[in-house]
Structure 1
Amino acid sequence: MEIETYRISLMIDENLSEYEGLENIKMKVKDEKIVLNSVDIDVKEISVNGEPVKFSMNKEKEELNLEGIYRGELDVQVKFRAKVGQTLMGMYQAGSSEHKMISTQFESTGARRSFPCVDNPGYKAVFYVSLTIPEEYEAISNMPVEATEKNGKFRKVSFKPTPRMSTYLLYMGVAKFTQFSRKFHDMEIILAGPKGTLGEPDKPIKFAEESVRYYEDYFGIKYALPKMHLISVPEFGAGAMENWGAITFREVLLLVNSNTSTSTMRRIGEVIAHEIAHQWFGDLVTMKWWNDLWLNESFATFMAFKVMDHDHPEWDMWGDFLLSETTGAMMGDSLEQSHPIDADVKDPNDVAQIFDEISYGKGASILRMIEAYVGQENFRKGISRYLREHSYGNAKGSDLWTAIEKESRTSVTSVMEAWIKRMGYPVIEVSGKDNKISLKQKQFRLNGTTTDQIWPVPVTALGKNGKISILLDTASKEVDVDGFIKLNVDQTGFYRVNYSDNLFENIKSNLSKISKYDRFGIISDLFANTLSGNITLAKYLERVSGFFSETEYIVVQEIASQLGVLNNLFHDRKDLEEISKKFYRNQLSRLGEKKKGEDGNISILRGSISNYLAVLDNDYAKDISRDFNRFENLDPDISGAVAVAYAVSTNDLEGIMGMFRSTKGDENKLKLIAAMGRITGKSNLDKIMGLIKSGEIKKQDSIRFYSSAIVPWENRDFILESLKQIVEGLDEIFVGTGYTSSYLESAIPLIGMKNKAGLDTVLPKITRPTTEKGIKKGTELLAIYQKMLDKNKL
């Protein structure tokens, strides 16, 4: 079967709650059945080349089956009716009573919830879309408007045909929009959102311009469409979505104003760059099947950081990459319940389970490793070749490796195939002295088990004369390095390192000779080896304390985060608490008060450290919580810490709720929702659950509260008692995503450390396809943490 075109005409009622649809699908078939995907759509009639045909629905398989065998060129016409959904998938109610909006989210299988189609990324087609809407509303789709036609109290908006693309990239939005437009070269960049919801337009549009300029130069291929919308969506399950020419974002990722923190501003730039990378890598060239989803997401993640580093070098985006992408990926991939980058996806409904740190962070980190292996220019030429050869079509991961291999004349395929087909990664144990070191690799797992799996590892080593590179493709190897200092230079490799005692001491004496990324890597590996039991907590604290006077953002942030995790695990270890408080206090003293024009990393770090200290030190929390009454006028980099401090020092839910109701803007509201999670007491927590149920806390933001509320020891019993209700709510809101599973992965270890027996009773009641993976990973983490606690008892 080959799909040529979809002509989709929807007539939406005046309440934006239901619609009637008429579509014509042109296709070519060769003696086969016609099967369309359809979910919760009331199909009225189907005809083929003008002749009515019988059809039946298989709800379990989400398939609409036409009776008979067909051949030749066909025009399949479908008349149907459907409701605008309440969940955040398909075509759904995305606004509020004040700002009504319909929006769509079709990745991965949401298109079938809006119109019958062959909902498969390998079946590209040209889309002709027309929307008949109440006259006071406007409509946005992938392409510019071609014509409008008044029809009583309604008007029909018809859009120009799209390029050939997959169903999951189609977009349809209806609202009373505010739109800001700017011409960029021969295209138009438009910021849009429901009236009254947008902030200052200059920064998001500037980020988009920077990204388009960079990608056109990097790929050597012009942006394909005449316009690009950046659309702010009030209720949105995903963070953002790369619909070709009509990119959607959560409000917080486009809303820029005086309350936008430095970290959020960077996040806005990075997410815009990520989604625009998809306009080439994912939209222009699309994976053939969902097993290569990682190729889209990893590449867009990697390229976004390249853009931001190029245009904003002062932000140290590669440091953020290591903190946000590589660290999480290495954590997830050190579990037995991980999965290969190239995951086995038989059913497209299973794809939600692989929208995770492996598909994004690990894949992006492997691309960074391969770029370092073949060289930046060879890597760029390979990407450009891949895009040119497969434009407007579909491709596999192997097509990309082939293109890079041809351009670099380096053995890329054998290395990449090993890294994407295999789950996990190695730890390299380093020993020796003088000029000869011994390298031994084995699989790294946090639970202490290992395998005899061998990876082809592009290893870099730093000596007194600079960097050397080797491919470690055996279990062990001896290497000559004149004046060896450190393995994995600038942390470009995706592997752990465990140094012998003498080599670790040697590193400490050479800290001035290694980069901040290297120092970050040493700390990161140290913590991982502690969690896995390779070294004791006492040795960890002894070694990490040698870095307590560190001043680089990325290193300080990593130490602060590690101490935060340890205090969550060892909630009654006063020695650990005192060590942590001393580190946090000394760092805050070093950072001092905010200065005009200071480095953004200093400002972010001050807020982060303040947050950690407020949770541990009630006197400090009381001190800074005095500023809570002017929350909206505080430095946005510190206001989140002040909200948390107010919560832990007062337990005053009414005060936080009052501020939540009076404040505007998603970013401030999210800070207050996180602070609500620090409130204790069943009656208080019940009230917050009521805010979620009533919609006062947005559906999309409910998970922010649940993630925060699981951390305080006192709240874990409440979360356990509410876990079935929480899971059902998340499944309903975030249908077709991996959010529920991800939440359980983080919640289960914390619940289990307080009430393992109660957890064991509840888990069977919430096990289902949407939760199974998270439950397995969470249970594995619980065992790892418990083993660590037992091993390091005082």
Structure 2
Amino acid sequence: MKFNIAFVLLCCCLWSCKKDSKTHFKIEPGVSLELAQHRKKVISNTHYHLSFKLPANQTAPIPANLDLSFNLSEVNGPLVLDFSPNNTVKPEVFLITGPIEVTFKDEHLIIPKRYLKTGRNEFKIKFQAGDQYLNRTDKYLYTLSVPDHARALFPCFDQPNLKATFKLDLVTPHHWQVLSATTPGFKSKTEEHTTHVFETSDLMSTYLFSFVAGEFNEITKDNHRFLFREQDSLKITESLDPIFNLHEKAIVFLEDYTNYEFPFKKLDFAAIPFFPFGGMEHVGAIQYKESSLFFEDYMPKLTHWNRANLIAHEVSHMWFGNLVTMDWFDDVWLKEVFANFMAAKVVNPNFPELNFDLLTLVTKTPRAYAVDRTLGTNAIRQDLDNLNNAGSLYGGIIYNKAPIMMKQLEMLLGEEQFQQGLQDYIKSYANSNATWNDLVTIFDEKSDADIKAWSEVWVNKSSRPVFAHDFKYTNNNISSLALHQYAEDGSENLWPQQLEIALIYKDSIAKRTTYVNQSTQFLDVLEGLPKPETIVYNSDGAGYGVFPVDVNTALTSFKIEDDVVRASNYINIYENALSGKIPVQTALQTFFNGLQHETNELIIGMISSNFGSLYWDFLSESERVKLQPEFAEALWERLNSTLSTSIKKSVYSAFSNIAYTGESLEQLYAIWHKDVVIDSLKLNEKDFTNLAMNLALYNHPKHDAILKSAVTQISSTDDKERFQYLLPALALDNEVRKAMFLSFKAVENRKNTSWVATANHYIHHPLHQKDAVKYLALSLDALEDVKATSDLFFPLKWLNSTIGKYQSKEAKALLDKYLKANPNLNTQLKAKILQATDNLRRYQEMIKD
């Protein structure tokens, strides 16, 4: 009888456990959309009270505790928390009555149904924090949880639409400074540590939770705390006031534009050496790349604008992304496009000397085209089934094509209606979540145009339009001009857009604007005008697509007097060259001519980049050898002519990019050794360090002496550590370079992704590729691990700095073999491969023809 009772009880227990473990969703690694949707229905009012004990030793474990509380509207299965630390320590979970049994598998901490109740639930969790995305050095650390890396640090509901409040305790060495979303309420000290107890935060998504801790300088001004490690006294003196002032100006503008006061308790910021992004908009504690904030006053206006734009971008996120957050990461582009869009409105009036149509054109359009021309392009809005793929959604399309789209939308709606729509959006969804369709509905109500249909092509479809034209002249006047539009990907899509056309005459330019929304459209606005010397489409830079160019007048593009028209023509020439519509040699000579004549710092920077791309990616080695002396001699001559500092810096960049041999290499050495001082060419310590590394890359006869001397000239301990890290990538011995690259197979050797990308640049430079191609396979073989273990931008940087630098048949064969062997490769990852290797594909197709 005792046996029978025990047997029945055992069966009941097993049945109960089996029933308890049944869920309405599949538990799998990552955060699936299905899981997120389920949790959103039943979980609310979440609060995290986190405690971390941060040791000075960067390899020591980080013990942590979490007091988790939340409401459940119903209990229909176990509670699934997301947790994927890079350690094997199983978390311990407690109720007030004591420890409970939980399951820890597939990157989730699963609390059985029997421990749950409707209403308020509270659990204590003891765990070892993951530090894969807790960027630790000997001197400091910082969290970086976007897009789904909070779960790598602590157990949580890691989805953007389950906002929560946070309370944080940090135990640190005494001399460490700390920064987080709120202000420390108080500190307590022991002989060994200081405990910082932060106040409860505002509502935020888990990816916006952060802290910074370590050895930093600190300054407070205008109620903003600023942590930084910069050591150059001149840079500090000349940068601090602008940094604080730019934050204040951004807040004032955005409060007025959105009609909504600054939405959080405070706004502090930290400048971090070698931060992997320009910045990250953590609530109350923005993190920046230190070199983006600190520089000398003499730097070009564009550098000053870039800093101002970066700060305005991150501050804009406080409203667009932090206050109103996307419901799911398929709409991550939405917060980015508005941060970009609003930053321009904040910053541009403060730089009246800059042409902002030109600035937008040269900073956005080429970067958007760099993705959209590839076989791996994507729509602005992309589907997402699991947050572990969210990092792959970021890229050139959301940061550069989306702002162009948004400008077209503002022109379609009108500025006033557009602003009113955004104010309604902010007010309606403050401290909550919204989708793009929610905003489209608001805009649709304010316009006679069909915004939903317009959005379907611009936002939900990939690729770009390609334009061709037919024209007729009667009595030397335009009698008709038909513009034909088709999708580059072969689809039936058409991109309706406002388009400006410039007719270039000997002594004047005539501009006309039209709205293009048909596959063939006759441009009546041009009829009757005199026959021009050439036509430049998209002459104001607001349009989007591949536009026809006149190959006969391309070489004299530098003579076009209007800056925006000239820049647009250069962009059209580059795109037509890559599309095979005009010869690469013609485009290369066009940009070379531009480098010898251009006086606009924005344009010369762009054409310098295009010149370098065509030279290294679309010329054979023999063609480069033949052309290098002529190009280098002409650039050296212009470098020594009378030019402004900003123009001279761009010419120097173009020269140093090809001065890898002969007389030009010795001229480059003379600059580094300071045997030659070029008037108005201002080079700072980092410039000289980079120059030394280029001389080593170019195998200068004094290779070893240059590197040995260069390290002694670096004043910053952070910069010196980076330099020493990169030395194997600059080695003369291929085996040393090979060993360094192969070491990147191990994740612990890829922790500083910025340094790894730079090392790859040297290892896989065209001058090293005959050796490096033999071990290039790792660039693809390690890719899935790179994606799983790095920040969101690094997979593409990894590819761009390895196989993306090649043009050879061997590299193309390696690529084809990999893609054939991996037919089920993650869609977004395959797209990144196709984006990075687009020039490789195009070059191989060109030489076939």
Normalising by the residue count of structure 1, what TM-score does the alignment of the two structures yield?
0.85
Matched AA of 1:472: V
Aligned partner of 1:557 among 596, 605, 620: 605
Instruction: Give the Cα–Cα distance (whole angstroms) in 2 for the partners of residues 557 and 479 of structure 1.
Output: 33
Aligned partner of 1:74 among 109, 112, 120: 120
Quick check: 1:755 aligned with 2:801? no
Partner SS, residue 627 of structure 1: helix
Aligned partner of 1:5 among 42, 46, 50: 46
Instruction: Give the Cα–Cα distance (whole angstroms) in 2 for the partners of residues 67 and 360 of structure 1.
Output: 43
1:417-432 to 2 correspondences below 5 Å: 417-432=456-471
Instruction: Give the Cα–Cα distance (whole angstroms) in 1 for the partners of residues 330 and 216 of structure 2.
Output: 37
Partner SS, residue 381 of structure 1: helix
Aligned to 2:257: 218
Instruction: Give the Cα–Cα distance (whole angstroms) in 2 for the partners of residues 49 and 641 of structure 1.
Output: 59
Aligned to 2:224: 189
Instruction: Give the Cα–Cα distance (whole angstroms) in 2 for the partners of residues 760 and 191 of structure 1.
Output: 49
Aligned to 2:842: 784
Given that 1:382 and 1:408 are in contact with CA atoms closer than 8 Å, whether structure 2 keeps it comes out as no
Quick check: 1:456 aligned with 2:510? no
Matched AA of 1:526: I
1:430-509 to 2 correspondences below 5 Å: 430-433=469-472, 434-444=478-488, 450-462=490-502, 467-482=511-526, 483=529, 485-499=535-549
Aligned partner of 1:293 among 329, 332, 341: 332
Matched AA of 1:488: N
Aligned to 1:711: 765
Instruction: Give the Cα–Cα distance (whole angstroms) in 2 for the partners of residues 380 and 587 of structure 1.
Output: 47
- Structure 1 stretch displaced more, 509-518 or 11-20: 509-518
Partner SS, residue 30 of structure 1: coil
Instruction: Give the Cα–Cα distance (whole angstroms) in 2 for the partners of residues 260 and 54 of structure 1.
Output: 60
Given that 2:557 and 2:566 are in contact with CA atoms closer than 8 Å, whether structure 1 keeps it comes out as no
Aligned to 2:652: 607
Matched AA of 1:2: I
Quick check: 1:37 aligned with 2:76? no
Report the Cα offset of residue 671 of structure 1.
9.2
Aligned to 1:174: 213
Unaligned runs of 5+ in 1: none
- Structure 1 stretch displaced more, 690-699 or 6-15: 690-699
List per-residue Cα deviations over 1:765-789 (Å, max 9, x = no partner).
9996585433344455432221123
List per-residue Cα deviations over 1:511-558 (Å, max 9, x = no partner).
877732222222212221221222333554676677564433343333
Given that 2:471 and 2:482 are in contact with CA atoms closer than 8 Å, whether structure 1 keeps it comes out as yes
Aligned to 2:579: 532
Matched AA of 1:621: L
- Structure 1 stretch displaced more, 191-200 or 364-373: 191-200
For residues 580 and 417 of structure 1, do their structure 2 counterparts lie closer, same or farther at Cα, with a shift above 3 Å needed?
farther
Normalising by the residue count of structure 2, what TM-score does the alignment of the two structures yield?
0.80
Aligned partner of 1:240 among 279, 291, 308: 279
Aligned to 2:831: 773
Given that 2:357 and 2:541 are in contact with CA atoms closer than 8 Å, whether structure 1 keeps it comes out as no
Aligned to 2:404: 365
Given that 1:135 and 1:154 are in contact with CA atoms closer than 8 Å, whether structure 2 keeps it comes out as yes
Report the Cα offset of residue 50 of structure 1.
5.5
List per-residue Cα deviations over 1:302-332 (Å, max 9, x = no partner).
3334433222233556544433432121121
Aligned to 2:715: 664
Report the Cα offset of residue 568 of structure 1.
1.3
Matched AA of 1:46: V
Aligned to 2:692: 643
Matched AA of 2:682: D
Matched AA of 1:650: H
For residues 134 and 673 of structure 1, do their structure 2 counterparts lie closer, same or farther at Cα, with a shift above 3 Å needed?
closer
For residues 685 and 51 of structure 1, do their structure 2 counterparts lie closer, same or farther at Cα, with a shift above 3 Å needed?
closer
Aligned to 2:734: 682
Partner SS, residue 489 of structure 1: coil
Quick check: 1:138 aligned with 2:177? yes
Report the Cα offset of residue 462 of structure 1.
4.0
Matched AA of 2:831: K
1:238-317 to 2 correspondences below 5 Å: 238-256=277-295, 265-316=304-355
Quick check: 1:566 aligned with 2:614? yes
For residues 364 and 353 of structure 1, do their structure 2 counterparts lie closer, same or farther at Cα, with a shift above 3 Å needed?
same
Matched AA of 1:387: I
For residues 745 and 234 of structure 1, do their structure 2 counterparts lie closer, same or farther at Cα, with a shift above 3 Å needed?
closer
Instruction: Give the Cα–Cα distance (whole angstroms) in 2 for the partners of residues 146 and 380 of structure 1.
Output: 38
Aligned to 2:33: none
Larger Rg: 2
Aligned to 2:12: none
Report the Cα offset of residue 371 of structure 1.
2.9
* Residue-pair matches, total: 768
Given that 2:275 and 2:289 are in contact with CA atoms closer than 8 Å, whether structure 1 keeps it comes out as yes
For residues 734 and 752 of structure 1, do their structure 2 counterparts lie closer, same or farther at Cα, with a shift above 3 Å needed?
farther
Aligned partner of 1:158 among 197, 211, 214: 197
Matched AA of 1:685: R
Matched AA of 1:129: L
Report the Cα offset of residue 695 of structure 1.
7.9
For residues 203 and 611 of structure 1, do their structure 2 counterparts lie closer, same or farther at Cα, with a shift above 3 Å needed?
farther
Given that 1:425 and 1:495 are in contact with CA atoms closer than 8 Å, whether structure 2 keeps it comes out as yes
Report the Cα offset of residue 716 of structure 1.
4.9
For residues 291 and 490 of structure 1, do their structure 2 counterparts lie closer, same or farther at Cα, with a shift above 3 Å needed?
same
Given that 1:458 and 1:470 are in contact with CA atoms closer than 8 Å, whether structure 2 keeps it comes out as yes
Instruction: Give the Cα–Cα distance (whole angstroms) in 2 for the partners of residues 717 and 585 of structure 1.
Output: 29
Aligned partner of 2:667 among 600, 605, 623: 623
